[in-house]
Structure 1
């Protein structure tokens, strides 16, 4: 055997350092390249235990099947006090649990603005003092209440919520109405223009949309998202097509339901390319929730950030959070802002990536690179790499540029650990100082320790 190896043509497999492979290419030596990466540090023992779990394969099949078969429909718009039983003094927020002491600038700014909006304080200083003391104030994650919120994600009782129901599995999820871009509450701004806009949304926008939906009946969001992907959206940072499709769906009913206010409502929606984002987030939330609580499943059912920590939840581990420090996105900045002005990653909008959209669907949205940075090849590479850490391809959400291949969906903790690949997230960037608003947009990766901690919990049973 040794002699035959020495006398025959070498068969070369290259792993890792591409420099060695390139040297062989220059010498015209045939080789087979293997794209291998080491597992996440410290994950080997837990990974072996989880892979040996006889429940895992079937549990993941069930969980991802529920996620991809969900049929989210927009069924109503209601005040949070009614839809969620939210009482004055209680605020929901994005990401894992956090208190005022650890809250970032944009989270604090959004809470101050919500206090002013609810009439619980008359000045920012009074609001901040009361929040710091905790007097009559309760903070709780949106995810604990079938809800998601973009950026700071603050929800207060008087805000109106989009209500999305899953026609397949029966779940319901909520998200607030989108305020637009610039100085808005979700980015931590709380000036008079922010509070005045929220009041108009509560007095006009919410009631008119509610009346319109009573006329149209449920709006099929799964179908709308599938169309928008084929029109150049990725449904996280680009929602222009989806917003246009939704506007076309409801515009006649808006005019019929409120002829005196229709023009201002339609003008507001038309001027806000991200209006659909919140409906898409609620659709993603109700889809991911359908996959929860499958014993033995290593499927990620939530990724969320509160501006301080990035957390994940896993189907087989109930409502437990596994966290690590939130990173600062790398991207493009507005005006004179730069990296020093950026807050660490924040928001529940990573529920889109959790369900195969956003960063996982960038190959469907070449124009997104003008917003988050990079070039078209980077967008395609981001999507194709995510097939390595997901359990399925979405049957409805398809990418024309990849031959109508379904988006990668169903992040598996074990695949993340085995490959060392972390989910790709594209996101807006909030200013780190309360009251600043949006300063840019870019790409960010979750902390690896969130996934290794979840893997260890799965291994422990």
Structure 2
């Protein structure tokens, strides 16, 4: 011991940096480690994490869930009315929304506005006053899209007369998932707008556009979605907030098939024009494809792989493969980004939408390295986009070789979020997203970057630890 202290010592300081400063002032040499306790210092969360680390049964479960995710082949097979695809919508006055469950009185403005618009679209009420009275009298009920294997961007509203994309996983008993159609930008239902213009567009989409897309698929046959997404990643998309390339690739398949149909020429032209004017048209298909891949990974006992991340404008919710359909929620984080002229952070709703299913599947914010131009929309620099993709490698089970990033020497996108790594490394999943105005009907006011809240992951691990130790 005397010999040890007769040598010059270097101290590794884990904790307050001021401890290292005191050692330096006394003539010693200290290295201040950038260390924080896991789980943001949550004692029970830290204990749950410790119980779930280095457990062979958990590693095996995660490998199983990851393999199911990687093997999935999401394929666009049909267009159906929501009431036909999801019978519960036809049996009752039920409306689906984005994110985890939430009561009407707790909803943010855009979701409430979108629900009222859906009620008008369904002709359950003649005006907004009557529509709100129906809701307050309990005559309309609400559930998350995810409870019915569906996803929708922003407010995520799905009601019985809306058309849905039908996506099957051809490697998993052709299990189906659903997503609504993308309305484009501006005053649209998903941002809470519910004017006559919005309802008129929804009526056209539910009739002429739906007929055109269904007829197109009869001509083209099933369309595999992973190849489109993979190619789009090499063309500057990240298939969440930027879908210009993916929509163009889809158009290459849509147009020849539509021209073969017997539909009136004017209807075909209007459908093609609508898609061409909407670079976000592929977003809803990207979301459905990601939902399909992650559905394959659900319900693997003991797995800590995240299979859902979703937001309702108030709370952020996640689900783990190993805990089934249980939601773990925390207040949604604000979005940091770029605002349209005349708007600022004080106007914004909290994080909103099911579109974080793309990040859950390893694209979107996880694939920003493939889309340096996205920073012009969400903020930051191309270097930030690349660093975000690299950072996500530290919280995932592996990569998806189907989706590669040219800027990272064609490395696979980080995929398979491991809740343990999030809590242990204190690195939160990155999400790039649109920003909705907090008031219904105003619409999109910007776009930016946000993260999932840590508490969701801490609570999920605590529940899984309790479940395993019963």
TM-score bucket (shorter structure): over 0.9
Alignment of 1:437-452 (within 5 A): 437-452=443-458
Name the SS of the counterpart of 2:303 in structure 1: coil
Superposition TM-score, scaled by structure 1 size: 0.94
Q: Which residue does the alignment assign to 1:384?
A: 390
- Is 2:256 the counterpart of 1:252? yes
Superposition TM-score, scaled by structure 2 size: 0.92
**What is the alpha-carbon root mean square deviation over aligned residues?**
2.3
- Is 2:221 the counterpart of 1:217? yes
Q: Which residue does the alignment assign to 2:180?
A: 176
Name the SS of the counterpart of 2:157 in structure 1: coil
Match of 2:145 among 139, 142, 146: 142
Q: Which residue does the alignment assign to 2:38?
A: 39
Q: Which residue does the alignment assign to 2:442?
A: 436
Q: Distance in 2 between matches of 1:184 and 1:411?
A: 32
Q: Shift of residue 48 of structure 1? A: 1.1
Check conservation: 1:38, 1:419, Cα contact below 8 A. Answer: no
Q: Distance in 2 between matches of 1:292 and 1:350?
A: 17
Q: Which residue does the alignment assign to 1:103?
A: 107
Alignment of 1:257-272 (within 5 A): 257=261, 258=263, 259-272=265-278
Q: Deviations over 1:74-103 (max 9, x none)?
A: 111111011111225111111111121111
- Is 2:52 the counterpart of 1:50? yes
Q: Distance in 2 between matches of 1:357 and 1:311?
A: 19
Name the SS of the counterpart of 2:38 in structure 1: coil
Q: Distance in 2 between matches of 1:376 and 1:38?
A: 31
Match of 1:235 among 236, 239, 250: 239
- Is 2:416 the counterpart of 1:413? no
Alignment of 1:85-100 (within 5 A): 85=87, 86-87=89-90, 89-100=93-104
Q: Distance in 2 between matches of 1:189 and 1:235?
A: 24
- Is 2:151 the counterpart of 1:161? no
Q: Distance in 1 between matches of 2:214 and 2:156?
A: 21
Q: Shift of residue 328 of structure 1? A: 1.6
Check conservation: 1:390, 1:412, Cα contact below 8 A. Answer: yes
Q: Shift of residue 217 of structure 1? A: 0.7
Alignment of 1:202-351 (within 5 A): 202-257=206-261, 258=263, 259-351=265-357
Q: Which residue does the alignment assign to 2:368?
A: 362
Match of 1:189 among 185, 193, 199: 193
Q: Shift of residue 7 of structure 1? A: 5.8
Range with greater deviation from structure 2 (163-172 or 200-209): 163-172
Q: Shift of residue 277 of structure 1? A: 0.2
Check conservation: 1:36, 1:419, Cα contact below 8 A. Answer: no
- Is 2:63 the counterpart of 1:77? no
Q: Which residue does the alignment assign to 1:24?
A: none
Name the SS of the counterpart of 1:213 in structure 2: helix
Q: Which residue does the alignment assign to 1:114?
A: 118
Check conservation: 2:155, 2:352, Cα contact below 8 A. Answer: yes
Q: Shift of residue 409 of structure 1? A: 0.4
- Structure 1 stretches of 4+ with a deviation exceeding 6 A read 10-21, 30-35
Q: Distance in 1 between matches of 2:100 and 2:332?
A: 11
Q: Which residue does the alignment assign to 1:25?
A: none
Q: Which residue does the alignment assign to 1:460?
A: 466
Q: Which residue does the alignment assign to 2:359?
A: 353
Q: Distance in 1 between matches of 2:36 and 2:381?
A: 25
Alignment of 1:15-26 (within 5 A): none
Q: Deviations over 1:11-33 (max 9, x none)?
A: 78787899999xxxxxxxx9999
Q: Shift of residue 159 of structure 1? A: 0.4
Gaps of 5+ in 2: 21-28
Q: Distance in 2 between matches of 1:278 and 1:35?
A: 40
Name the SS of the counterpart of 2:266 in structure 1: coil
Aligned length: 454
Q: Distance in 1 between matches of 2:77 and 2:348?
A: 36
Check conservation: 1:429, 1:440, Cα contact below 8 A. Answer: yes
Q: Distance in 2 between matches of 1:34 and 1:408?
A: 27
Q: Which residue does the alignment assign to 1:60?
A: 62
Check conservation: 1:363, 1:382, Cα contact below 8 A. Answer: yes
Q: Distance in 2 between matches of 1:19 and 1:243?
A: 54
Q: Deviations over 1:253-295 (max 9, x none)?
A: 1122133311111110000000000000000001000000001
Check conservation: 2:229, 2:286, Cα contact below 8 A. Answer: yes
Q: Shift of residue 334 of structure 1? A: 1.1
Q: Distance in 2 between matches of 1:32 and 1:234?
A: 39
Check conservation: 1:53, 1:296, Cα contact below 8 A. Answer: no
